[in-house]
Structure 1
Amino acid sequence: MTLTWITKPFEALTLAELYALLHLRSEVFVVEQACAFQDLDGQDQAATHLLGYTETGELAAYTRLFGAGISYPEASIGRVVTSPKFRRYGLGRALMQQSIETVETLFGRQPIQIGAQLYLKEFYESFGFRQHGEGYLEDGIPHIHMILL
């Protein structure tokens, strides 16, 4: 499956794009993972949003990207999510690769930090991320900080 990637700052998102990305995040992070948390954390406005659309115009993959000093001292990638409808097509790999490339395009080659769910550690390690520090609980889910140098 091939996606069309769109990168936009918050203020350039259309209402339809904003609704679609918030719907996807809620579908996965709140409903699927059964985790009541404050997804709207005030950081969307500072993010660059990476949206991956199918040939039929459905949002299938999404991340938000930050320059250094916003979420972490390093540049960062967050809210990594693929639609349950489009899983098993390798979109998670495509999304992370596109996210890393887009961070480098936007902010230059530099370390990238993520807060990863622990069960995805090996997935992120396959891109070169390494655990940075001790594990922690976030909204009841085990996480680790990881960094790509």
Structure 2
Amino acid sequence: MNWMLKSFSQLTTDELYAVLALRNQVFICEQQCAYQDLDGVDQDTLHLFAKGDDNQQIIAYARLLPQGIAFKEASIGRVIVAQNRRGSGIAHQLIKEAIATTCRQFNTNKIKIMAQAYLVSFYQSHGFVIDSEIYLEDNIPHIDMVLEQTA
């Protein structure tokens, strides 16, 4: 799988549209969560994604946030795999790539995330540990998790 990493200004118009369409499909339509996805943070983050065989559809995506935006630590958010690609292992590839890229790009060994509670075991399988009680974010149960890489 060919991963692409771009800043907001490096995204083409078509890539930006595809990212926002995928986020809308998953977070708003599938999860039936009416929330403001365009939160003013995209311009200050890195966008990690892979395209499908047609080189048009984005099939996996994560937003990488430097320290001081979501938390004092670097963070990974908006983690998505397109519905037609789920169950193929792409999510595991995506989070591994997101972790490695976040650590490298932001010169850190610590990442904090706001995970949807039903995904705790997925993130634990990649080394994240629970760092909060469950809380509601946009009416969806979330929990903070932290990963600290050792040298």
TM-score with structure 1 length normalisation? 0.96
Match of 1:32 in 2: 30
Could you report, residue by residue, the CA deviation over 1:76-129 in whole angstroms, capped at 9, with x for unpaired residues? 000000000111111110100010011122012321000000000000000110
Distance 2:146 2:128 in 1: 5
Q: Return the letter of the residue paired with 2:4.
A: I
Question: Over residues 43-91 of structure 1, what are the superposed CA-to-partner deviations in whole Å (9 max), with x where a residue is unaligned?
Answer: 0011100011123212100000011111110000000000001111111
Give, in whole Å, the separation in 2 of the partners of 1:76 and 1:4. Answer: 22
Pairs within 5 Å for 1:80-95: 80-95=79-94
Contact 2:68 2:74 in 1 (8 A): yes
Paired position in structure 1 for 2:113: 114
Q: Please report how far the alpha carbon of residue 134 of structure 1 lies from its aligned counterpart in structure 2 after TM superposition.
A: 1.5
| Structure 2 residue corresponding to 1:9, chosen from 1, 7, 10 | 7
Q: Does 1:52 align with 2:50?
A: yes
Q: Paired residue for 1:64?
A: 63
Counterpart CA distance in 1 for 2:11 and 2:64 is 14
- Please state whether the residue corresponding to 1:35 is helix, strand or coil: coil
Identify unmatched segments of 5+ residues in structure 2: none
1:109-148 equivalences under 5 Å are 109-148=108-147
Aligned-pair identity in percent equals 46
CA contact (8 A) 2:46 2:65 kept: yes
Q: Secondary structure at the match of 2:21?
A: helix
Which structure 1 segments of 5+ residues have no match? none
Q: Secondary structure at the match of 2:36?
A: coil
Could you tell me which amino acid in structure 1 is paired with residue 105 of structure 2?
Answer: L
